Structure 1
Amino acid sequence: MTEPQQIDEADLLHHGDAEVGDGLADFAVNVRSNTPPEWLAARLRASIADLAAYPDPGAARCAVARRHSRAVDEVLLTAGAAEAFVLLARVLQPRRAVVVHPQFTEPEAALRAAGHEVERVVLGKDFTLDPEAVPADADLVMIGNPTNPTSVLHPEAAVAALARPGRTVVVDEAFMDCVPGEPESLAGVPGTGLVVIRSLTKTWGLAGLRAGYLLAEPNLTARLAAAQPLWAVSTPALVAIEACCEPDALAEAQQWAIELGKERTRLSAELSSRGLYVVPGARASFLCLRVPDALGIRALLRQRGYAVRRGDTFPGLGPDWLRIAVRDRPSNDALLEVLSELGI
């Protein structure tokens, strides 16, 4: 399970946006629909007036620190979560790097691009985390929580159990704000060797802006900052980070997460009633399901105007897996109707 494997790097570089096309209803990308909200869009438009000046990350960095009750020097702002993965891969020099799969493929792709060998721990039944499955001498472990594409939320205690002296544990929490109250988050838990990565892309619809941040011990954030290009995060992205950490924004995100949970539960039950296996306990903005000939179903859905995410490019899944974003009820019902027409 944990032996090094030959990897098709092209698979690692396949993302949901590649599934989307003109005229297709998008159930492939996990960005919240109808975003950014107007109040945030207005703040972004106003930031254009300041583009003549170089970006100043101070206010946004302080806002993130306040949100998570962290020291300012434990915060590194990044051009989305993807930059954080690249910086870690370039700065760290692991002897034995392990990525827990299935999960977002960019962390492994970044490690490989930086010349590191990567081992995989592939989770078993229902994709629940067993910390003992990770080799004891692994000095770098990367895991998602909630995990893309399975939508599984690992208990905080299980993720924290991965930590040990001499090991860096990187937790991708890009979808944690899908969970009301974020009870399993480690973002507010300072610890030697613990790195938490967050993104604004999903909840606020800012994939094109590239806004995220990393939380870690000051020594590591300083090393990563030294490897980061100057002014890596743009003024509009800094404005977005600061705005989305404000109490009103957090309350809005919380309410969205509650409503998302209700619709996700309903959609999961509808799919399960058709005899499909839906990974249980989904907590993110998508469902992961197993269906015979998933690639063929995906192709038929595209013919009917619907894009879903293929699962076979995720290590640990295969050709019988799909990931489906949870949208609003009318959109989800339209997809269910098409599935019924296809005999599913």
Structure 2
Amino acid sequence: MRYGSSRKVLVTGGAGFLGSHLCDRLISQGHEVLCVDNFFTGTRRNIAHLLDNPRFELLRHDITHPLYVEADEIYNLACPASPIHYQFDPVQTTKTSVNGAINMLGLAKRVKAKIFQASTSEVYGDPELHPQPESYWGRVNPVGYRSCYDEGKRCAETLFFDYHRQHKLEIKVARIFNTYGPRMHPNDGRVVSNFIVQALKNEDITVYGEGLQTRAFCYVDDLIRGFLSLMETGPDVTGPVNIGNPEEFTIIKLAETVIRLTGSKSKIITRPLPPDDPRQRRPDISMAQNVLGWTPQIQLEEGLGKAISYFETFLSADKSSGAVR
């Protein structure tokens, strides 16, 4: 592999929220990027600014089917990540996590590429241990509404480590905690985008339960920096590594902060808590700090300000064009 120089990097899910930011960073570092996406949740809008770049290539493809390309590195990010989207077709969600992992691992094995798996904090389920270290095995409902995603990602991790042990494949596994920032899908049902869009429209902000459940929010630039740091480690570092911000906030506090930052007239209303919704989620990032030298740098209010600016522009553009999406 051509480490230390330009590399050909395959990014599955490259037109999505995280994937498009990763493509940006890889291009800025001088690499060639092949962006693969089936556009179920990803959009051309996210990567439109890269389409004329000679080092960027876009391929429409569903990774549940085999892919035959050349690459020095593979980042496997393809999978709907919000409950609204992954519950829309739960069987396809599991196929994307499991069959997609098999296809990408098979490709990595054929071309001898280093491969990165975007796993998730959802592998911990509704945790009994707080914060969650990588050694915690989790508390996941295998037959619930979130299982297609939770168990799909857990199985993908299993496949990655079995390929590593059986075929000596060089793997990197990151467990992503709540991430936010520009290019989030406005209708993905995730709490940050929901609150910002509702606040900008002066609509009621929907909080589930009493809003006392907690989350830790990582800004997208910090997360991508963590990805790159993990990928640059030696072959002895496989992960899984938690990548997320350990600063914890209640959902009701987040809603109040968004209302204040947007100057919104929105009121907070409550709805029943969805099934299997975790009560608390916060990463133990000791491994990321010690092994990668990584720690998040962007505070919540700064990151929310950038996300709010993005959604203001997005909603304004869609309103002027008459777009529905």
TM range (shorter): 0.3 to 0.5
TM-score normalised to structure 2 length: 0.35
1 or 2 for the larger relative contact order (CA 8 Å, sep ≥6)? 1
